[in-house]
Structure 1
Amino acid sequence: MTYPHEQLSANPHDRTAVHRADDAWLQDRWADPETRVLVVSGTRIKPVDGAIDWVAPAEAPDGLRVLLGEHDGRAWFAVIVDAGISKAAQGEWTPLRGLLPSLADDAMAGAPLVFHALGLAEWLFVTRYCPRCGEPLAPAKSGHELTCANGHTQFPRTDPAVIMVVTHGEPGSEDERCLLGRQAVWPEGRFSTLAGFCEPGETLEDAVRREVAEEVGVEVGEVEYFGNQPWPLPASLMLGMIGRAVSTDITVDEHEIEEARWFTRTEMKTLAEAGTLVLPGGVSISRSLVEHWYGGPLPGAW
């Protein structure tokens, strides 16, 4: 079975890291009319008719050129321009989250390319000064490094986060249940898998156990790895996990989670068909985790 989140990682590009400091190679590719460029203002892009707008280098504005790599026989870049451009015309420029519903179906967009571009743009946008000495940072290696006058080098960061479906009962039985939660800011009926960031010195399995215990008071025993998904919102790698609960009493923290419930497969199907249970969108690994446990596609999505 192909899971929904895998669409956003399919057919990745060659990042060609060896050419990031090769000025002659970069100039040659930039001069090629077949090269394609994504214009990013701050951390937003300007879609055309709801699709990602890749332009030729001659059509790209001045800005920081970021090499993404090679794919389908051509080079791909991003040009990052001043964030004030998108701020002045917010209705025309869209953050990544607003593009997710259509991104997986847009063959020209190349989801890994867009994730790469916007992940770097976010890092460059928020990383202005050296954390070691406070000096201003300047881009190097086609936007993949930042250096200061004292020679300190900074690299893009990725924050590992676990996202988990928690189950209880005999696997595959009618009585087996799946634990989902909802935040207070979500519309009524919207539920999702639990998630949280890994802490320093913590294994993925222990992060699952800690987050579930903190958020809903359920104790988790066995944990297994399911898959992962880049999620530059702003800089996460979502690590999908499956946890087996050894307790079932729920005590929500009332901070991150407003409500949590156990669902059997029958309950989940009935409520999803009625629209009273709204599950995560089709391209998220959360959706993949739920449908993996359920055993097939489910109706409805955020």
Structure 2
Amino acid sequence: MSDWRDPSTLDRVEERRTDPAWVEALWAHPSSVVLDVGDAAVAAAPDGGLDTRPTAGPYDAGRQFLLGLVEGRAWFAQWAEVGLTPLRSIMDGLSAADLQVAFTGAGLATWHANSAFCPRCGSATRVVSGGQTRLCDVCGRELYPRTDPAVIVAILDADDRLLLGRQPTWVPGRVSVFAGFVEVGESLEQAVHREMAEEVALDLTGLTYLGSQPWPFPRSLMVGFAARARDAGFTAAEGEIEAARWFTAPELRAALASGEITLPPHTSIARRMIEAWLADTLLHPQPA
């Protein structure tokens, strides 16, 4: 499983990708590969891994985006409309390196697909820096891929029980910790307090930062916190939270063993937070 606290295996070659000739030569290198990607989807091999192919033909800067180097090999992403597999369905089986490439490629290509025109003057934009940037030649504005921050919170009560809930759109039995997007003019901590007040009407204290994870659905950065509820009485937001429940560790293990509930994917920060709570390391992490 990928641990997003470790250094990235993907070298984004920031210092060289602004040179179009260098990027084009990298495309032509015999070891370089390209991955078809789409909106939260990638080309998947029969074994569940990524289905890449060697780069071939002329380099098209408007369609083929340099993701970076993994152990010296260049990876490119190319937008595709067909032949893709939802990333959610295979991401638990990907290696740490493949997961970073897939998340980066899907997020970057989706941004390009929706950023063909300048938001300031409406003129067409073009791709520069190997796909890292778009440029408007009319007004000179540079555009960069957006990452939308969201907070995800493990809420504990005074007895160390964990509150888990489910959204109406999730598969039956799926439960998780609570999350929400950060709004304009809001700190991460303020977003934690506001979102948890909105979703379960809880007043929190003792916020503790846990870590973060990129999340390409569509282009988010999940920022994890733990917090204590001042009291255990909660009210689930109608239409947003279908159900919520406090669990002790034995109760959660029993519910999982019986099949009553399921948890988020292993590669998600939500799953890592829940498993850390079960191992009693959520607020007392083990040495790296």
Unaligned runs of 5+ in 1: 87-91, 170-174, 298-302
> Cα distance, 1:10 vs. partner?
6.4
2:72 corresponds to: 73
Encode CA deviations 1:64-94: one digit per residue, 9 max, x unaligned: 121111221222222335x3xx1xxxxx312
The match for 2:86 is 95
SS of the aligned residue for 2:208 comes to strand
Quote the offset at 1:48 in angstroms.
Answer: 2.0
1:138: Cα distance to partner? 1.7
Could you tell me whether the CA contact under 8 Å between 1:13 and 1:70 is conserved in 2?
A: yes
How many residues align structurally? 278
* Residue 130, structure 1, aligned to residue 106, structure 2: no
The 3-state SS of whatever aligns with 2:56 is helix
TM-score, length-scaled by structure 2 = 0.88
Match of residue 285 from structure 2: none
1:250 is paired with a residue of what secondary structure? coil
Deviation, 1:98, is: 2.7
The answer (yes or no) to whether the contact 2:36–2:77 under 8 Å persists in 1 is: yes
- Would you say the 8 A contact 2:39–2:107 is kept in 1? no
Deviation at 1:248, TM superposition (A): 1.3
Contact 1:67 1:78 in 2 (8 A): yes
Q: Which SS does the other structure have where 2:228 is aligned?
A: strand
The correspondence of residues 201-280 of structure 1 with structure 2, limited to 5 A, is 201-280=185-264
- Give the 3-state SS of the residue equivalent to 2:180 in structure 1: strand
Q: 8 Å contact 2:17–2:23 — kept in the other structure? A: yes
Shift of 1:182: 0.6
Tell me the CA shift for residue 262 of structure 1. Answer: 0.6
SS in structure 2 of the partner of residue 252 of structure 1: coil
* Letter of the structure 2 residue corresponding to residue 58 of structure 1: A
Q: Which moved more, 1:4-13 or 1:139-148?
A: 4-13
CA offset digits 1:250-293 (Å, max 9, x no partner): 21111211111111112111111111121112111001111111
Residue correspondence of structure 1 range 56-205 to structure 2 within 5 A: 56-58=54-56, 64-81=63-80, 83=81, 86=82, 92-103=83-94, 106=95, 110-148=98-136, 149-169=138-158, 175-205=159-189
CA distance in structure 2 between the partners assigned to 1:266 and 1:40 by the alignment: 41
Between 15-24 and 221-230, the greater mean CA deviation after superposition: 15-24
- 1:44 alignment partner in structure 2: 41
Label 1:254 to 1:42 Cα distance change in 2 as closer, same or farther (>3 A): closer
The verdict on how the C-alpha distance between 1:41 and 1:199 changes in structure 2, with shifts beyond 3 A counting, is closer
Post-superposition shift, 1:150? Answer: 1.8
Equivalent in the alignment of 1:284: 268
1:89 match: none
In the alignment, the residues of structure 2 paired with residue 41 and residue 176 of structure 1 have an alpha-carbon distance, to the nearest angstrom, of 41
Give 1:8 deviation, angstroms. 9.5
Contact in 2 for aligned 1:166/1:242 (Cα 8 Å): yes
Conserved? CA contact 1:60–1:79, under 8 Å? no
Indicate the SS of the match to 1:58.
Answer: coil
Contact 1:7 1:283 in 2 (8 A): no
Runs (5+) with no aligned partner, structure 2 = 282-288
Per the TM alignment, residue 202 of structure 1 is displaced from its structure 2 partner at its CA by 1.6
2:286 aligns with: none
Q: What SS does structure 2 have at the residue aligned with 1:121?
A: helix
How far apart in 2 are the matches of 1:51 and 1:7? Answer: 19
User: Following the alignment from structure 2 to structure 1, what is the Cα–Cα distance between the partners of residues 133 and 92?
Assistant: 31
- Do 2:117 and 2:123's aligned partners in 1 also have CA atoms closer than 8 Å? yes
